[in-house]
Amino acid sequence: MLGASAAGITLLLSKDFLKLVIAAIIIASPVAWLVMNQWLQNFAYHITIGWGVFLMAGMFATSIALLTVSFQAIKAATSNPVSSLRTE
């Protein structure tokens, strides 16, 4: 059998996409903290936002992105290319 395995294709696609998601989280977290902190100052009883909120949101976003990309990559890697070319 020639070519990459399904696991290899899934790993390559997931790794590249995961880098983008982590970069987005690193960029968006400080911006979100600044905006939320400024907005919460307008309330009489305001709270401070801890790092745990951003950690949980980042883990949730990363896990959803990883599940989605992995599912699509496995589906594409295990499909028969002949049937895909036949419909073209």
Is residue 46 exposed (0-12), middle (13-18) or buried (19+ Cβ within 10 Å)?
Answer: exposed
Residue 75 corresponds to which tokens in the numbers above?
A: 């589906």
Predicted TM-score of the model (pTM): 0.73
How do the domains of the chain map onto residue ranges? 9-77
- Say which range, 6-10, 12-16, 37-41, has the weakest mean pLDDT: 6-10
The mean pLDDT value for 40-47 works out to 87
Name the more confident of 20 and 9: 20
| pLDDT per residue as tens digits for the range 47-60 | 888 889 999 999 99
